[in-house]
Every structure is written in C-alpha cells, then in structure tokens.
Structure 1
Amino acid sequence: MGVLRTRTKQKQIHAFICLCIVGFIFYKYLGFFQSSSQTDLKKMRKMGLNTNLSQFTLDGKPFFILGGSVHYFRVPRPYWRDRLLKMMACGINTLTTHVPWSLHQPEKGVFNFHTQLDLEAFISLAAELGLWVILCPGPYISADMDLGGLPSWLLRDDSMRLRTTHPGFIQAVNTYFDKLIPKVVPFQFHKGGPIIAVQIENEYGSFAKDEKYMLFIKEALWSRGIREVLLTSDKSNSFKLGGVVGALRAVKLRKMNQRIIQELNSVKPNKPFLVMEYWTGWYDTWGELHHVLPPEDTVSTVRNILRRGMSVNLHMFHGGSSFGFMNGADSDLSYKALVSSYDYDAPLSEAGGYTAKYHLLRDLFSQFRPEGNSLPDMPKLRYSDSYETAIMYQHLSLWDALSFTESPFTSSKPVNMENLPANNGNGQSYGYTLYETTITSGGILQSGDNVRDCALVYVDKKYIGLLKRKILELAVPDGKEERTLSFLVENRGRVHRGRNLDKQRKGLVGDILFNGIPLRGFTTYSLDMKFDFIESLNQASWKNLPETPSFPGFFMGRVFVYSYPSDTFVKLPGWGKGVVFINSLNLGRYWSVGPQQSLYLPGPFLHSGVNQIVVFEEMEGDYYVHFEDSPDLGMEVEID
C-alpha cells in the first residue's frame, strides 16, 4: 500500500513537471509571436504617409486625406472633444491644426503650454479618437491672427526682418523650436502617434524675401527629430516660389480649374495632390458685411477635388472665436481689422452647431467610406440659452483705473507699444496705450500717419476728436494755461499677411506735431487689459452709475445663471465700441459698425450663480447687456 502511494505521488510530480515544461514552451512560443507581432507593427509604423506615387499610401495602403482645420486656441478646452467628434461624424479622418508662437511664447523667456494651450493634450485627444494629424508649427502660421501668429516682441529689434534668415529672427526661432518640437516628436506616426505630416512655414511663396529661409526651417525641423512627410502650402499663383527640396508641395484654393491642375502637374508630376486649404468661407472685417459661401458651391468644389483623386483639407472645418485681442488685420487695399468672431461660415458654426454645409459634406464623405463602414452618429448639440439682461450698476473712469496698470513710463519722444518697458521688458502686444503730455495753447495736431491704429484725443480728460490713418489733423481748442493732452491709442490688430509684417509696430510710431513742432515729454501707460489687470479692478473705487458717466470708462454688472451654464451670445445694442470681459476673461471687441453684432460666450466661461461682466466702452453706452440664445454675425454677402 505504501509503495502504491509512493508511485502515485511520483506520477503526480512527473505530470506537474511536464505541465510546467509545456507551459514554459507555450509561454516562449506565445512570446515569440507577440515579439514578432510587435516587430511587424514597428515595421509598419515606419511605413508612414508615402508620397512617391501618384496616390498617397499610409501603412502601405491607398489613403485619401479627408482633412479639416480646427485651431485648439480658438476653441474652449472643454469643447475640444465635442468638436473633434463632430469632425469624425462628418467623415473627416485627419485633423489639421496650427501652432501660434505668439501665444506659446508671450515673452522672450516665458513659455506657455498649459490649460487652453496644452498642445500635447490636444494631439493626444485626436489620437484617442482615431484622427490622424497634420501639424503646422510655423513659426509663421497666418491663421488670420495678429502678426500672423508671430510674437510682437520680435519688433523691438529695429532692424528685424521677419520670415528671413536675419540673425535676430533665426535665433528667436531656434529658441522657440527648442521648446516646441520636442513636445510633438513623440506624437509622430513612426513612434506610434497620429502625426502623419508636418507643414513647413505657411504660404511662403507670396512672401519669398529670402531664398535660404525655407531650407533653414526644413533643417530646423529635421534636426530636432521631425521624420514624417514635410509639405509646403501656397496659392496657385505663388506655388512655384514657396517650395523646398524634399517637401511635398500642396495648394490653397477656393475654386478648382484646369489651369491649377496644369500648374500642379508642371511642378510635381507623378506626385499625390493635396489641397491643403480649401477655403470653406472667409473672415470678416469691421465695417463690411458677413461673408458666406453657399453650401452648394462648397460641396461642388470638394466633390470636384475628390473626383480628380486629390486629397483635401477643409480650412476651416470649425473656426471658433478670436477671443481677446487675437485677431489680425488685412491691408490689401486699405487697413481693415478682423472681427472677434472666427465663424468663417465653416461647416461647424462658431458655437459648434451643424450647418447645411456640414450635412451636405457628410453625405459626400460617406461615399468614400469602405463598404459596410458607416459614419459615426452625429453628437447631440449643446443648446444655447438666453439669460436675464445685465444692468450696469457701477462705473470706473479710465483715469481712475490708471493706478492699477504697470508703473507709467516717461520719455522725451513717443515710444511705440513694442518698445515700451512693459511686461518684463518685452513691450506691449495688444490693447490700448495712453500717451500724455502738456500744452499751453490751442492749435493744430498733425499725426503724419504715426498713429496706429486710432487715437482718441483728450484735453484735460475732455474728448476733442480722433486721429487715425485717414484723419491726420485735429484742432485743439484755445487755452493759455498748462493742460494735459492725452492720446488713447488702440492696436486694432496687426496685419496677418503680406510683405509688410516688419512695419506692424503699434501705438505712436513717430512724432506728433503741434503747430508744426514735435510734441515732447510723454508719460505712457500700458493698457493691455490682461486677466490680472481686470481682476485688480475689483480693488478700485467703483462708483454707482451716474446719470452722465465719463467716457472712456469701465462698466460693471452681473449675470445670474441658475443652473448648469449653457452657451449664450452677448449683444450690446446702444453701445459704441469697446471690449467685454466675463469673469475677467476677455471675450473680444464689439463695435456698432458691424457686421458682428454678438459675441459668443461659451458655457464653460460661466459658473452657476453670480457672474461678473465688465464692459470697457470708448464713447457711449446704454448700460444694458443682453444674453440671447442665437448669434448675430450681421448682414450677409456671398464671397466673390
């Protein structure tokens, strides 16, 4: 009996040992296949976007880029996911986004890649959702931004030549890229990320001041680890001037025709075609009408592009808003500043709403899905709401607010905004600047076009008129005693494109003559109206709103939200021109000349309960601010 038990135990041990051996072999066998699978994946990940044939391939398979542009810095971060899901539901497979140097490096030694400007989080979200990414890191991006997204502190150098190999510009770009590029390198396709292509600069063919510049930017990207497809993007009339060896040339357009096709074929035969920017709409400028492009025209052109076997990126798919003082300006014929809304008549509206253009494009893109692979469901819309009208009940004159600015700067001659010692010696980028001096007589002011962009002029705090680009003279009332002469100068937005970027300094950029003699002895206040400044005004001695308040001035009111905050639209009928702040956040400019008659106020900018609204008004106001559930972008005109 004892022998039998011993043999049984030996068999059990033998079986256990065999099982362990089999398990070990199975483990190694499985590990081999896992290793092989990972190796194959890595091999495939090296097969990124291929441009060596007449058709793009990705992972070695034919691939159409159905792209759409969304600027993360123009969309409230809580809405990033919503906007990207709506892109995917339309049939978009590739997100294109630009990177604004001016926002990421507001001062020479200060970088910001947090919260609203967390580029890595935005790219990670795209990857999570299954979108490919085309990244446009600049340094110049245009994007219809102030100075095309270049930081204004570059203009402190009087010899600066932007977008060239000027030593000062090259040094600044290298410092910026040293911070930016390492953040995006891990997101490249060959490293398992979503970035399949990177654009070199933007539309350099229409600038083309330095033949070495594009090569410098290309090498700056390459040397820092960018290994995906590089591309350039230009309009057809400057297509040949904007390219660089080793980069795919893409085109920007609104209409497709045979001439453009021939132009493309002559420059890059047997290469895939990409319309990097098909313009779905256009921006608006103050004093004009709201530009729209009929949905049928949009879809007709996109269908024409796709039928020719070309890839396309919709610019913009969703425009969003130029919150604060982000907007650029146009100067094709004369200077015109862009409005705060960047709705762009895009397929997805400023507030993320579906448009007729969206639905037609969704139908079109659904035809390019593999059989049996339907589009995702369209996300539910977030409803806008109206709130009770806010009554402005307190007032603070501009003059009483000056003590909350940085210490005033004194100088003999007027100093432009960029060269002021504000912001740790980086100058002033946006907003208003107040210049004050003294006079002892009446006479004639002559600006000589040295006011950029408009100056409200005061004598002893009383308004006497304005100076701007087309108004170069102003009479000053007689008076023999010493009086204070003040110029409140507004930067309405630096030009965002063209060959005169170097000349975009703001404020008083030269002498102002008084009776033929240059004014001297200035005290200058920087009024860039940042978040901290508006917050600090809570400590000011606000007064109950008088019957006849002084202008310019700040007006305070409250808006109550009794539940979870929804999007709404701020409307200011009866007000003249100024800026709106909600809970100290700068929503943007308003101006009665239109076309824009409302400011988009996203729900995340509000909180349940009491919200503070501050309005800075230059000239006049009716002291009521309305919150409605629909936008008003002004009277429409079709884009020519």
Structure 2
Amino acid sequence: MPQHTFTIGETDFLLDGNEFRILSGALHYFRIHPDQWRDRIHLGKAMGLNTIETYVPWNLHELRPGRLDFTGGLDLERFLDLIAAEDLHAIVRPGPYICAELDGGGLPAWLFDDTTIRLRSSDPRFLASFDPYLHAVLDRMVDRQIDRGGPVILLQVENEFGAYGDDPTYLQALTDRFRRAGITVPLTTVDQPTPQMLRDGTLPELLTTGSFGSRATERLRTLRQAQPTGPLMCSEFWCGWFDHWGAHHHTTDAAQSAAELDDLLSAGASVNIYMLHGGTNFGLTSGANDKGTYQPTVTSYDYDAPLDEAGRPTEKFWRFREVIGRHAALPPLPHGLPTDPAAPRQPFRTPEPVPLSPVRSLDSALAEVPFTAVDELPTRDALGIHRGLLRYRITLDGDDRPAVLRLSEVRDRAWLRLDGIPVGTLAREDHESALWLPRSRGVLDILVEDCGRLNYGPRLGEPKGLIGPAQLHRGPEVRELTDWQVGEVPLERIVEATPDGAAGGPGAWIHRAEIPLDRPTDLALLTDGLGKGLAWWNGFPLGRYWRKGPQTTLFVPAPVTCAGTNELTLLELEVLTTEQVRFAPDLRLGPTEE
C-alpha cells in the first residue's frame, strides 16, 4: 500500500494534509473466530465505516510470563492485514490495561501474584512487567503504520486512566515507550467527559478523546473545554451495553442511538462505535464488576451492537448506515446481504435433539492429578493457578456434632461436599461465607470456580479462591483449619475424558453428546435444562452457561463445526434437568428491562 501522512490539525485529523473524519467501529479479534474476521470487517465497511478499532489483550497474549502468543485467534498482524485488504484504516489500543469487560481488564493474572506491585502506576516493577508484551505489540505495529504503507492511524495509551488514578509519570513512561518503539502516528487517550477525568487521564502531547453514548453536544463541549485545539472524537460511542449473570439483557433503542450518532457527526466529530460487533467471551475470558456486589459478565458480548453476536446486521446496522450516509459516501452493499432493512435476520439451523450422556465424574477424571499439601488456606494466586477451577480438601478430625464452616470470603463460587455428599454452595454475589456442616469429621472437598476477575475499579488485581482464615465453629469452640490439600483442575482432562461406565451421581460431572451435521454452520446451542458449567464444541471452548441467565443460548461459530459427527462436552457443576441437547433458531439473550 502507498505511504500516507496522518496528523492532528488545528481542528481536524489530516490525511495527506486534507481534513479527514474517522468513522470507526470496534471489533475485538479475540472475541471472534479468526475465520470470521473478514466477514465482520467487510460488514463494517458496508455500514459506511472507514476504520476498524480493536483492543489488544495483554492477558491473552501472555498467559505466562515471557511466553507470548500471536498465533491463531490471537494473530493481530493477520487481523490488521485483513483490515488493510478492505482499504480501511485501523486504530489499536494495546493498554496495558484495557477494561473491555475482559478477565482482569486485560491484565494477566500472574501479575497479581505479587500483591505489593502498584498496578497501573509508575511503580518500576509494573512498568517492567509489561515491557516484553508492549514491545512485542508495538514491534508488530511499526511497519503497519499509515506512514509506512499500513492501515494503523492511531494508537491509544492506557485506557480511561482518569477514572482510576492521577499519575502523569506513568502516562509519560508509556508514551516514551511507544515513541522509542518507532510509533510515529498520533497517540490518544480516552476518558469519560468530566473535567477531572479528562485532566487526570492524559498528557498535553496526547490527543484526548471521550467515551459516552448520549448527550453528544454537551459532552463534546466539555471535551473542547479540556482540549481547546485538535479534532473532537468520541472514541467509545456506546451504542449498547454488556450483561451480568442474573440480571437482564441490555438494549438501547435503535432510533434513539442513531439520533445520538447523528448529533455527534453533525457536530463535526470523529467517532468509534463501541461496539460494531461484540462477539463472544469464549472460554474463561469474561470479567466481572463489583460496586458492592460481585457481578460476573456473561458469555455473550452481543452488546446490542449493529452486528449481533453471530455477525448478522440488526436494525441498528441499517439506522447507523443511514445516518453515516448523511455525512459521507456509502459503499455498495455486499452481495447476498438483504437490501430490505426490515427483513428478518437469517435464522440458525436447528439440528434434531440428541441424547446427552454422563461420561464420568470430575473426581474420576482427576484421579491421577495430584494434590499439594499446604498448611494455611492459600489463594489461587499464591498457588500460581490463575484461572478456572481449583480443588481444596481437608480431613476434619472432629465428631458427629454439627459445626459451622466460616471463611473470610469466597471468590467466587464454592461447592462443598463432605465424604462425597453435597452439603451446600457458597456464592460471592450473595455475600455468603459460612455454611452448616452436618458433622465435624470426614473429608471435606471444596470446588471453587473463578467466575471472572474484576475488570474495573479499585479492587482490580484482588486475590482469588478461598480467602482465609478458615474456621470451624462448634458453640463457643473455634478452631482454625490447617493442613489443607489443594489441586488444579486441568480443563484438558475434561475434554479428553473417556467414559468409565458410571451412571451419574452427586458433584460435578462431565457429559457428552454427538451432533450430526451435513455441513459447517453457525448454531445457537440451547442451555435450557442445564445448571452451571462450561461447554466445548469439538474441543473449542464455547464458554460458561448458567441457569440464572439472562442468556439461554451459547453461540457456536461455524468454523468450529464440521460435516459429520460433532462432539459437545459439558462440565456440569450443579444439576441437569434434561437428557437432551437442543438448538434454537435464534440467539436467546434474555429479557430486557422492559
């Protein structure tokens, strides 16, 4: 591609010296199967966009210190090259903190092992921790900048820092790293448009942008007061919202959202629509919020976006395209896309129901996975076991009298069994940390699920697992429990588990079904009748399901399916009320507030 200049002018972005308005939409490559990236990018262009934006998740690219991964679904270079192939520009936001409703806000869990590190600060240990990751990302950006013939026109430094702290030394250290790495395109920051956040979250040499979804004229005015010159940009135009387990599905009125977009563009501002297409929190990647009550984020990241979780145009797509057409030239619609905005979305295929059979208990599947003996009750971070499920075991040497088990805190959900018999569940969202035991002797097993690390706020980086001390209360007698055994739950053991002939029983169980298909296809897997657990399709991690909703389907992307026999594996942590796997003709994301 030819080289161009992209700079910040007195009131506008300048492409080769000419005024240029950014019309961008957010796509998170890590929330979309890589074989569907091209389709989502192409539809963004069809909506009238000239730019695609993405976060870069440090925690997914560096699961373990020093082991960086940019392959497969994390191939950022391929994603950017597909954007360039559509003659679109790109905005990249590598953090190191990104929020994004992602596990830990994009910060890797191993970073939290040292509880003395000051996250998102000029603490030299924090700066050193992300240097390998940031260098690897920026190294991939240098030759993909627009002044070198690539698509990248902007990079963002940190993310909504003004809502978290006030450390210009930290922001300067980040900025210097970007520039030393060879980044020559403009650098930006983003914050909600309040005077304090806009002041604390940026530096004079960085372009300040805003994040909001309504009252565009008022918020652009606040942004202009904070930054008298340079282009105005809403780099997170919230056209929807994310969902929490146990709550409703968030939607926004398409007409009202389009009117807000029109106000924004009529004011001459640039925009990044968040999200163009949300996608899915595959596997264990979803985060959580806690503003007094812990709220884990659901698997679907549909976001009520112009393209739904399966990448199909919604009413918002057509209304946004109409608005954009008032301010810029529109490309022709792709072949095969319905030209009637009122046409219903293409339904999913619905294979016939198939039997769901128990394979073996989780205990059986993990029989050869050793425990580690420890004295005091450890967190998962202290053990270096950073994600998923963790087993705790202790032998109680009391008697047949009942007792109360009391913990300081459970993060985030614990299933307890005494001599193999379930005795209860402790749930963080219900502020539960104590449970009656029918007796104070026997083997107590506790299975703990990390339901998602906090991605926003002052509790970012908190330890996970069981928070001690653990105490046994019998009347006035209180005894601290020591001499624990702890063990990891390797998820590959679940996917690879073979039947052992058992018919089912109490505790967590692995189940499996075989689904015949005549060709690969997107599917909506119904979770009605399932309790709480994890699902894999042909070994691909679809994510979490939970009876409490709101969503009652899991999206199965066509590229993970195949012609012939497809294998669904479930780890059910609670109770099934169905013996079949069924499918829906559409996504079922739950009731709305209305």
State the TM-score bracket (shorter-chain normalisation): over 0.9
- Give the corresponding residue for 2:494: 534
Determine which of 120, 125, 137 is the counterpart of 2:94.
Answer: 137
Pairwise mapping of residues 125-524 of structure 1 onto structure 2 (< 5 A)? 125-237=82-194, 238-370=197-329, 374-377=331-334, 380=337, 384-403=348-367, 405=369, 407-420=370-383, 427-441=384-398, 442-469=401-428, 470-478=431-439, 482-503=441-462, 505-515=463-473, 516-524=478-486
**8 Å contact 2:515–2:565 — kept in the other structure?**
yes
Aligned-residue sequence identity (percent) comes to: 31
- Structure-1 separation of matches of 2:468 and 2:536: 32
TM-fit CA distance, 1:616: 1.0
**2:532 aligned with 1:577:** yes
- Structure-2 separation of matches of 1:135 and 1:490: 32
Determine which of 549, 552, 557 is the counterpart of 1:597.
Answer: 552
**8 Å contact 2:249–2:590 — kept in the other structure?**
yes
- Give the corresponding residue for 2:343: none
TM-fit CA distance, 1:509: 2.7
TM-fit CA distance, 1:374: 4.1
Q: What amino acid does structure 1 have at the position aligned with 2:350?
A: S
Query: Aligned to 1:410, what secondary structure does the other structure show?
Result: strand
TM-fit CA distance, 1:380: 3.7
Query: Aligned to 2:360, what secondary structure does the other structure show?
Result: strand
- Structure-2 separation of matches of 1:449 and 1:344: 35
**Larger helix share, 1 or 2:** 1
- Give the corresponding residue for 2:521: 566
Q: What amino acid does structure 2 have at the position aligned with 1:510?
A: G
Return closer, same or farther for 1:335/1:116 CA change in 2, 3 Å cut-off.
same
- Give the corresponding residue for 1:18: none
**8 Å contact 1:88–1:376 — kept in the other structure?**
no
Query: Aligned to 1:636, what secondary structure does the other structure show?
Result: coil
TM-fit CA distance, 1:240: 1.7
- Structure-2 separation of matches of 1:310 and 1:64: 7
- Give the corresponding residue for 2:501: 543
Query: Aligned to 2:209, what secondary structure does the other structure show?
Result: strand
1:24-76 superposed Cα distances (whole Å, 9 cap, x missing partner): xxxxxxxxxxxxxx9xx65xx2x21x222112221111111111000001000
Paired residues in the alignment total: 576
- Structure-2 separation of matches of 1:219 and 1:137: 15
Q: What amino acid does structure 2 have at the position aligned with 1:411?
A: V
- Structure-2 separation of matches of 1:268 and 1:478: 66
1:431-477 superposed Cα distances (whole Å, 9 cap, x missing partner): 11110001023443444442101111110111101223312221111
Q: What amino acid does structure 2 have at the position aligned with 1:592?
A: R
TM-fit CA distance, 1:368: 2.5
TM-fit CA distance, 1:329: 0.5
TM-fit CA distance, 1:308: 0.4
Q: What amino acid does structure 2 have at the position aligned with 1:474?
A: L
Query: Aligned to 1:244, what secondary structure does the other structure show?
Result: coil
- Structure-1 separation of matches of 2:208 and 2:122: 22
- Structure-2 separation of matches of 1:202 and 1:379: 38
Query: Aligned to 2:236, what secondary structure does the other structure show?
Result: strand
- Structure-1 separation of matches of 2:220 and 2:111: 39
- Structure-2 separation of matches of 1:411 and 1:379: 61
TM-fit CA distance, 1:177: 1.7
**8 Å contact 1:274–1:312 — kept in the other structure?**
yes
**8 Å contact 1:230–1:248 — kept in the other structure?**
yes
Give the root-mean-square deviation of aligned CA atoms. Answer: 1.8
Query: Aligned to 1:610, what secondary structure does the other structure show?
Result: strand
TM-fit CA distance, 1:402: 1.4
- Give the corresponding residue for 2:342: none
Unaligned runs of 5+ in 1: 1-37, 421-426
TM-fit CA distance, 1:183: 1.3
- Give the corresponding residue for 1:615: 570
**8 Å contact 1:197–1:230 — kept in the other structure?**
yes
| TM-score (structure 2 length as normaliser) | 0.94
Query: Aligned to 1:387, what secondary structure does the other structure show?
Result: coil
**2:581 aligned with 1:625:** yes
- Structure-1 separation of matches of 2:130 and 2:151: 25
Query: Aligned to 1:212, what secondary structure does the other structure show?
Result: helix
Q: What amino acid does structure 2 have at the position aligned with 1:394?
A: P
- Whose Rg is larger? 1
- Structure-2 separation of matches of 1:376 and 1:65: 20
- Structure-2 separation of matches of 1:123 and 1:279: 23
**8 Å contact 2:91–2:154 — kept in the other structure?**
yes
**8 Å contact 1:568–1:600 — kept in the other structure?**
yes
Q: What amino acid does structure 1 have at the position aligned with 2:241?
A: W
